[in-house]
A and B are shown apart, each in its own frame.
Chain A
Amino acid sequence: MAAHRCSYCSWLFILFSLSVFVIADIHETTAVSDHHVGVSDNTQTETADQPTVEERQWEATEVKEAAPDNVAADTQGTSAPETMVPSSVPQPKDDFQEELVIRPLHSGDIYASFQFRTLWDTDFMRDNKVSHYRLFPKSLGQVISKFSVRELHISFTQGYWRTMQWGQPFISSPPGAELWVWFQDSVTDVDATWKELTNVLSGIFCASLNFIDSTNTVQPSASFKPLGIGNETDHRFLRYATLPREIVCTENLTPWKKLLPCGSKAGLAVLLKSEKLFHSSFHSQAVHIRSVCQDRQCKTTSWELRQTLNSVFDLHTSGQGKREWSLFKMFSRTLTEACPLASSSKLYIDITDNSQGEQFELIPATSLLSQAVVLGDRRTFSVYDLTQETTFGSVRSLNLLIRWKSSDMLRPLLHAERYVAGYGLQTGEIHTLMYNNHPYRSFPVLLLDSVPWYLRLYIHTLSVTSKGKDNKPSYIHYEPSKDRVRPHLLEMLIQLPPNSVTEVTVQFERALLKWTEYPPDPNHGFYVGSSVISSLVPSTVAMDTNSTQERPLFSSFFPCKEESSYFVRIYTEPLLVNLPTPDFSMPYNVICLTCTVVAVGYGSLYNLLTRSFQIEEPNPGLAKRIANVIRKMRGVPPL
């Protein structure tokens, strides 16, 4: 305590002397500040005016925000003025765009698709670590650099996409959780890195991704080619896993929203309220990380983070039966502003079937129109640009109202379903049906099936038939399962004839698990993950093969290599199979019953055989006992 007081004393004395100097030399403050500026100035490489250096320090944020608008037009030369910012290295340019696409569906439901994209021109694989994060979330940046990730795709979905009623989604995802990752070539032990990555992601997204292990991870040999830049595709660095049982709820949405630059406070993300989103027929949220070309020449790459959220609101539960949708009805919120950090923030409504305005009306009307080729079809969209003040009108909020009669649905060209046939708890049969609805073109599909080890597939019973005739796949890759180590992997490249149904059947046998391997609710059943069908579907309009950046986000996810077809990936339903389940209350009952029988039966028999019987005199009364005692004392024999 005394030492404390001494140090306080000295502190105060120093302060006091300093303040005395200040009071005495008040006119020298300008010289003092000049001295400080001069010190910092000497460390700069450029020379700058002395009094304006301070202003430039504050202006640095404006310089950086202006730069992303010129990303498309800028060459590397414009990075030079940024080096004059005294407090940082040349900042990699990052850019954030958000958009929402609303598409009324044939059945009266409405489909809303959010896409948030952050582009960042940086190199995570450099030796000196990236430490200054602005729009790109730091948690994902650290994951990329620590685990040498080349591409990462993770999705959480609740519900199943009904292709026949709703058409094709922009990006499809299987029910449950799905994770597939391409690692860089520098990774030596891919399996160990994969295990650590799943654990880290389970912490970031609050999901049970740590249940991903070797029993549900596969290494596809032809499916899931990288969606980003890359010339080498050695499938040893690819891992794919799916957890069909995983549920999605607010606890997964909360960390997902926190990855956005504006969080859920501004821009389109204010619409993401969990009470409305999870009361929908289909909800899917995904994160996609990959490298993309920066410009047409594609000499440099930048990292792209896409966060997508797809939701289908039901006509009867959310819409109260009326074909009149508004933002408030869907999300219980309206839009008031765009995210200030976004370079573009747009709302697209699909009005392709409404060229003359006879099908539905949009309130408030907008004059901006845009055409985009998406899913092989040219669609027209009304655009609301949220970065313009006029979009919000006088009430300063945008509540879009869509009223329509009915629309024809474009029949999806490719559609698949899957089910389990058979009876009993011993054997069964998996049927996968793929429908090609094109009238005259056939196209190839790559079917990926990953079946858990406890369903023992009999591959000799695998049959692929189209229109009743055998259809031999041009490529089959099969990896048999190993009990408790890895699942079955079956990949087939099948040519679907035009206007036909192709059926793939395989028989299986159910295994009996060890009693500790059953989950706490084994009578629910066991899930088999969805099959993945990747295909090049012929498109009705010519696709744009240039990967320019002016396309809306929802049409630029899959890279396009040829004009006549587009790449699509669809998923079938997951299967729920019952395995032979023992009655877990039986061990207790058996022990009780056995012990009772043994105790009663054997005990009695043992006593009968081994006990000898003696005659025992009855206990004399109290008077007799006292008399006996007296007689003993007298030395006389007892009574």
Chain B
Amino acid sequence: MKILTLLGLFSACFSAHSINIENSAGQFFSSGHTNNWAVLVCTSRFWFNYRHVANTLSVYRSVKRLGIPDSHIVLMLADDMACNHRNPKPATVFSHKNMELNVYGDDVEVDYRGYEVTVENFLRVLTGRLPPSTPRSKRLLSDDRSNILIYLTGHGGNGFLKFQDSEEISNVELADAFEQMWQKRRYNELLFIIDTCQGASMYERFYSPNIMALASSQVGEDSLSHQPDLAIGVHLMDRYTFYLLEFLEDIHPASKTNMNDLFKVCPKSQCVSTPGHRTDLFLRDPGSVLITDFFGSVRKVELTMEAINLTDPIKQVEENPVNGEGQKEVYSYTDQLPVSEIIHQKPKQKDWHPPDGFILGLWTLILLVFFKTYGIKHLKHIF
């Protein structure tokens, strides 16, 4: 009798639970992506471009705060502002004047820095065509279920972005790189944000699906910087990223704000330039795309009450204990500056190399001249 009631109770619980499971399973897979990546690039060198580094670091800070780990962020800074000798407060990069917010922080990992930030390295990171010895932290190991956030800042113009004052990347190259990523299934959805002068020209040429792009200014307009700090002596941030940072500070990992709010960041009254965006290549409706789909990290947790039996550990064959063995050789430290040894050091036995082209050519010339002068019949006297 008791068993029957228990059975009945269980089946009732089960049916209720299964409906919840189906719902949550549906929610689990609705967004379509399983991991998040971010590629944040600052392309300017020199102290007066402090604000570009501050821009990139503030996006880095927001992205880390919302959950993307360092292993999934590729941060490229073309110059070092924090420990620059002109920085009156070393190891800091501020975004607000009066030094309110240090976006450099205490836990930062820069993957590409200094001279490593080049167009070639940037395109290689995006397309994944890196030399085999590149460490993991410098690679974008995304797959076809990754949502990638790409943020570029620096000096740009109509159709190009300047890298380090010595080379440019054009909007055609960027569009082709994204197409390569699409064909290699390296992203699920991509959000491209650019904060440069005439930034909208950079996303004009995109033609791959699932890309949403935002820019800080239209073609023909300049993006302006926000405010200088008189103690540091340079402008600290660009306007668009400043208001973007303010907007992102209100986002927390569980917030439901969507992309339409992001498009409203920094209207013309605050930014002086007109931010633009492009959503025609994006399949979903921007109103249904959460900010945390790109800026945060997917972390779905499923609780289970089941017990799992761990297998027994693999027993390794024990080595014989080495006590009492006297025949082990005695080690010793090397002499650091053995003067007598060095003075009498024999010259290294160089490997014998066959004579190279120059010597061979010279001897051939000498032989030819000799035989031409004296005739071929002298050969028999030699050989």
- When chains A and B are docked, how far (Å) is the Cα of A77 from the Cα of B106? 46
Interface-centre pick from B3, B109, B343 (highest chain A CB count, 10 A)? B109
Q: Are A249 and B109 in contact (CB under 8 A)?
A: no
Q: Are A534 and B336 in contact (CB under 8 A)?
A: yes
Closest to B322 in A: A76
* Nearest-Cβ distance from residue A417 to partner chain B, whole angstroms: 21
Q: Is A351 interfacial (CB-CB < 8 Å)? A: no
* Nearest-Cβ distance from residue B343 to partner chain A, whole angstroms: 5
Identify which of A220-228, A358-366, A450-458 touches chain B: A220-228
Closest to A235 in B: B348
Q: Which residues of B contact A196 (CB under 8 A)?
A: 133
Q: Are A299 and B166 in contact (CB under 8 A)?
A: no
Q: Are B333 and A251 in contact (CB under 8 A)?
A: no
- When chains A and B are docked, how far (Å) is the Cα of A128 from the Cα of B92? 45
Q: Is B269 interfacial (CB-CB < 8 Å)? A: no
Q: Which residues of A contact B336 (CB under 8 A)?
A: 225, 227, 534, 536, 558-559, 561, 567
Q: Is B316 interfacial (CB-CB < 8 Å)? A: yes
Are A225 and B334 also in contact (CB < 8 A) when A200-B135, A250-B91, A278-B90 are?
A: yes
Q: Is B328 interfacial (CB-CB < 8 Å)? A: yes
Q: Is A16 interfacial (CB-CB < 8 Å)? A: yes
- When chains A and B are docked, how far (Å) is the Cα of A222 from the Cα of B316? 43
Q: Can you spell out 8 A-B residue pairs with CB atoms less than 8 angstroms apart?
A: A76-B323, A87-B313, A88-B313, A89-B316, A278-B91, A298-B330, A519-B115, A558-B336
Contact digits for B113-125, partner A, Cβ 8 Å, 1 yes 0 no = 1111000000000
Q: Are B318 and A300 in contact (CB under 8 A)?
A: no
Q: Are B328 and A300 in contact (CB under 8 A)?
A: yes
- When chains A and B are docked, how far (Å) is the Cα of A407 from the Cα of B164? 49
Which one of B80, B91, B109 lies within 8 Å of A275 (CB-CB)? Answer: B91
Q: Are B115 and A228 in contact (CB under 8 A)?
A: no
Q: Which residues of A contact B115 (CB under 8 A)?
A: 208, 211, 519-520
Q: Are A249 and B83 in contact (CB under 8 A)?
A: yes
Interface residues of B in 231-268 (CB under 8 A from A): none
Q: Is B302 interfacial (CB-CB < 8 Å)? A: no
Q: Which residues of B contact A279 (CB under 8 A)?
A: 89-91
Q: Is B335 interfacial (CB-CB < 8 Å)? A: yes
Interface residues of B in 1-21 (CB under 8 A from A): 3, 6-7, 10, 14, 18, 21
- When chains A and B are docked, how far (Å) is the Cα of A138 from the Cα of B313? 21
Q: Are A493 and B328 in contact (CB under 8 A)?
A: no
Q: Are B104 and A43 in contact (CB under 8 A)?
A: no
Contact digits for B305-333, partner A, Cβ 8 Å, 1 yes 0 no = 00000001101101101111000111111
For the complex with contacts A274-B106, A558-B336, 17 further pairs of A-B residues with Cβ separation under 8 Å are A20-B6, A79-B321, A88-B313, A200-B135, A202-B138, A225-B335, A225-B336, A227-B333, A254-B107, A273-B106, A279-B90, A297-B330, A299-B328, A444-B337, A493-B339, A520-B45, A536-B339
- When chains A and B are docked, how far (Å) is the Cα of A90 from the Cα of B91? 45
Q: Which residues of B contact A199 (CB under 8 A)?
A: 131, 133-135
* Nearest-Cβ distance from residue A626 to partner chain B, whole angstroms: 48
Which one of A8, A88, A221, A222 lies within 8 Å of B18 (CB-CB)? Answer: A8
Q: Are A250 and B331 in contact (CB under 8 A)?
A: no
Are A521 and B165 also in contact (CB < 8 A) when A231-B331, A249-B83 are?
A: yes
Kindly count the residue-residue contacts between A and B in the assembled complex, taking CB atoms under 8 Å apart.
181
- When chains A and B are docked, how far (Å) is the Cα of A5 from the Cα of B137? 42
Interface residues of A in 173-230 (CB under 8 A from B): 195-196, 199-200, 202-204, 206-208, 210-211, 221-222, 225-230
Q: Which residues of A contact B338 (CB under 8 A)?
A: 225
Q: Is B82 interfacial (CB-CB < 8 Å)? A: yes
* Nearest-Cβ distance from residue A101 to partner chain B, whole angstroms: 22
Q: Are A230 and B89 in contact (CB under 8 A)?
A: no
Q: Which residues of A contact B164 (CB under 8 A)?
A: 520
* Nearest-Cβ distance from residue B348 to partner chain A, whole angstroms: 8
Are A301 and B331 also in contact (CB < 8 A) when A203-B137, A208-B116, A250-B91 are?
A: yes
Q: Are A203 and B135 in contact (CB under 8 A)?
A: yes
Q: Which residues of A contact B319 (CB under 8 A)?
A: 90
Interface-centre pick from A211, A245, A249 (highest chain B CB count, 10 A)? A249
Contact digits for B338-364, partner A, Cβ 8 Å, 1 yes 0 no = 110011010010000000000000000
- When chains A and B are docked, how far (Å) is the Cα of A204 from the Cα of B138? 10
Are A43 and B109 also in contact (CB < 8 A) when A8-B14, A493-B343 are?
A: no
Q: Are A251 and B135 in contact (CB under 8 A)?
A: no
Q: Which residues of A contact B101 (CB under 8 A)?
A: none
Are A16 and B6 also in contact (CB < 8 A) when A225-B336, A228-B333, A475-B345 are?
A: yes
Q: Is A100 interfacial (CB-CB < 8 Å)? A: no
Which one of B108, B330, B343 lies within 8 Å of A299 (CB-CB)? Answer: B330
- When chains A and B are docked, how far (Å) is the Cα of A206 from the Cα of B110? 6
Q: Is A277 interfacial (CB-CB < 8 Å)? A: yes
- When chains A and B are docked, how far (Å) is the Cα of A475 from the Cα of B337? 13
Q: Is A262 interfacial (CB-CB < 8 Å)? A: no
Q: Is B221 interfacial (CB-CB < 8 Å)? A: no
- When chains A and B are docked, how far (Å) is the Cα of A8 from the Cα of B337? 74
Q: Are A204 and B135 in contact (CB under 8 A)?
A: yes
Q: Is B111 interfacial (CB-CB < 8 Å)? A: yes
Q: Is A33 interfacial (CB-CB < 8 Å)? A: no
- When chains A and B are docked, how far (Å) is the Cα of A128 from the Cα of B315? 13
* Nearest-Cβ distance from residue A215 to partner chain B, whole angstroms: 14
Q: Are B334 and A233 in contact (CB under 8 A)?
A: yes
Q: Are B133 and A195 in contact (CB under 8 A)?
A: yes
Q: Which residues of A contact B6 (CB under 8 A)?
A: 16, 20
Q: Is B300 interfacial (CB-CB < 8 Å)? A: no
- When chains A and B are docked, how far (Å) is the Cα of A474 from the Cα of B133? 42
Q: Is B381 interfacial (CB-CB < 8 Å)? A: no
Are A249 and B18 also in contact (CB < 8 A) when A211-B115, A229-B331, A547-B333 are?
A: no
Q: Are A83 and B318 in contact (CB under 8 A)?
A: yes
Q: Which residues of A contact B110 (CB under 8 A)?
A: 206, 251
- When chains A and B are docked, how far (Å) is the Cα of A5 from the Cα of B17? 11
Contact digits for A550-562, partner B, Cβ 8 Å, 1 yes 0 no = 0000000011010
Q: Are A475 and B137 in contact (CB under 8 A)?
A: no
Q: Are A247 and B331 in contact (CB under 8 A)?
A: no
* Nearest-Cβ distance from residue A71 to partner chain B, whole angstroms: 15
Q: Is B48 interfacial (CB-CB < 8 Å)? A: no
Q: Is B207 interfacial (CB-CB < 8 Å)? A: no
Q: Which residues of A contact B14 (CB under 8 A)?
A: 8-9, 12
Interface residues of A in 538-587 (CB under 8 A from B): 547, 558-559, 561, 567, 584
Q: Are B328 and A521 in contact (CB under 8 A)?
A: no
- When chains A and B are docked, how far (Å) is the Cα of A89 from the Cα of B319? 10
Q: Is A413 interfacial (CB-CB < 8 Å)? A: no
Closest to B75 in A: A251
Q: Are B321 and A247 in contact (CB under 8 A)?
A: no
- When chains A and B are docked, how far (Å) is the Cα of A211 from the Cα of B111? 14
Q: Are B90 and A446 in contact (CB under 8 A)?
A: no
* Nearest-Cβ distance from residue B67 to partner chain A, whole angstroms: 19
Q: Is A293 interfacial (CB-CB < 8 Å)? A: yes
Q: Which residues of B contact A202 (CB under 8 A)?
A: 135, 138
Q: Are B109 and A254 in contact (CB under 8 A)?
A: yes
Closest to B14 in A: A12
The 3 nearest A-B residue pairs measured at CB: A203-B135, A559-B333, A76-B323
Q: Is B372 interfacial (CB-CB < 8 Å)? A: no
Closest to A292 in B: B333
- When chains A and B are docked, how far (Å) is the Cα of A199 from the Cα of B136? 10
Q: Which residues of A contact B322 (CB under 8 A)?
A: 76, 300
* Nearest-Cβ distance from residue A445 to partner chain B, whole angstroms: 9
Q: Are A77 and B323 in contact (CB under 8 A)?
A: yes
Contact digits for A71-86, partner B, Cβ 8 Å, 1 yes 0 no = 0000111011001000
* Nearest-Cβ distance from residue A200 to partner chain B, whole angstroms: 5
Q: Is A535 interfacial (CB-CB < 8 Å)? A: yes
Q: Are B18 and A5 in contact (CB under 8 A)?
A: yes
Interface residues of A in 597-619 (CB under 8 A from B): none
Q: Is B28 interfacial (CB-CB < 8 Å)? A: no
Q: Which residues of A contact B334 (CB under 8 A)?
A: 225-227, 230-231, 233, 559
Interface residues of A in 233-280 (CB under 8 A from B): 233, 245, 247-251, 254-255, 273-275, 277-279
Q: Is B46 interfacial (CB-CB < 8 Å)? A: yes
Q: Is A40 interfacial (CB-CB < 8 Å)? A: yes
